[in-house]
Amino acid sequence: MNTAMDLAQRITAALEFERRINLHRFPLRVLSSGDMLVLEGHAENVAAKRLALRIARDLAGSEVTVIDSLDVAPSLSRPDGDMLETFTQALIESPELKRFTIRRHHRDELQLVRLAPDERALGAIEFGISEGVVELTGSVPSLSHRRVVEALAWWLAGCCNVINGLRVDPPQCDGDDELADAVGLVLEIDPSLPQSQPVGVEAVFGVVTLRGALRSAGQRQRAEYDAWCVEGVKEVRNAIEVAT
């Protein structure tokens, strides 16, 4: 049997075994193309997308490139223009991004949303939205900023994918401490989570563990979703308790 085809079948079998990936309602395809594998289809949510890619890349190893062509099935369908306005407001209102110049692509124009003063500017963010896909470009000073902007994009109702082309300048070494800090920051800025009950975050080899207590099962689930929205997270272990 062709090696690539055999690998694609083993990946498909592993995806079927993962309980958080529902291939019956949200079928994903593993296609072999030379020395590459392509994952395509519509994942149920961000967690399913991240898990599918991790499983495929773990089984493929370093010799086979896995191409991410997975979208996320959006919770609702929205016009790109509505999404553009909502995301613009989210970037403007984010305290972590107040010192960034922000531009957006709209109707074949690059529009200036906000110009940061030169002496205080930290970077520049450009974005556009096409058919529910948010594309990010520009320059940010840290991996945490890059990850926060992507998480804000995933929070956008109607978003089916995020292409994160933000450059970290100067380049920064990544690691578990950096990943844990970014997840913690994303949890802090989520208005649906109470700031009086902070969630503890630990990361080991990309596996993020959440600890603490929240008021409801919905908040517990939201915290887990937030963690999956952070680039670089390989697994989320939710040890948050629901306070009674």
Same domain, 123 and 197: no
Same domain, 193 and 238: yes
- Could you report the per-residue pLDDT of 191-221, keeping only the tens digit for each? 999 988 889 999 999 999 999 999 999 999 9
Tell me how long the chain is. 244
Same domain, 141 and 108: yes
**pLDDT at position 198, please?**
87
Domain-terminating residue out of 168, 200, 215: 168
**pLDDT at position 207, please?**
97
Phi-psi region of 16 (alpha: psi -120 to 50; beta: other; left: phi over 0): alpha
Residue 73: CB atoms within 10 A of its CB come to 14
- Could you report the per-residue pLDDT of 79-103, keeping only the tens digit for each? 999 999 999 999 999 999 999 999 9
Phi, psi of 5 (to 5 degrees): -65, -40
Same domain, 157 and 186: no
Domain-terminating residue out of 72, 97, 130: 72
Same domain, 92 and 155: yes
Q: Into how many domains does the chain fold?
A: 3
- Could you report the per-residue pLDDT of 16-46, keeping only the tens digit for each? 999 999 999 999 999 987 788 999 999 999 9
When pLDDT is averaged across residues 52-64 and rounded to a whole number, the result is 92
Same domain, 88 and 130: yes
Residue 109, domain extent = 80-168
Same domain, 86 and 154: yes
Question: How many whole angstroms separate alpha carbon 4 and alpha carbon 104?
Answer: 41
**pLDDT at position 146, please?**
98
Domain at 39, CATH number: 3.30.70
Question: How many whole angstroms separate alpha carbon 170 and alpha carbon 146?
Answer: 13
Higher pLDDT, 231 or 64: 231
**pLDDT at position 68, please?**
95
Same domain, 124 and 164: yes
Domain at 233, CATH number: 3.30.1340.30
Nearest to 148 by CA among 157, 160, 136, 161: 136
In sequence order, what are the residues at sequence separation of 6 or more whose Cβ sits closer than 8 angstroms to the Cβ of residue 243?
Answer: 197, 213, 214, 215
Whether 1 shows a pLDDT value over 50: the answer reads no
**pLDDT at position 234, please?**
96
Same domain, 158 and 96: yes
Which pTM does this prediction carry?
A: 0.94
Same domain, 12 and 66: yes
CA distances from 162 to 60, 95, 131, 238, 239 (A): 23, 21, 11, 24, 28
Domain-terminating residue out of 125, 142, 168: 168
Question: How many whole angstroms separate alpha carbon 104 and alpha carbon 235?
Answer: 32
Beta bridge partners of residue 31, listed in sequence order: 38
Same domain, 64 and 86: no
Higher pLDDT, 28 or 4: 28
Percent of the chain with pLDDT over 70: 99
Question: How many whole angstroms separate alpha carbon 46 and alpha carbon 208?
Answer: 15
Same domain, 202 and 222: yes
In sequence order, what are the residues at sequence separation of 6 or more whose Cβ sits closer than 8 angstroms to the Cβ of residue 179?
Answer: 203, 206, 208, 230, 232, 233
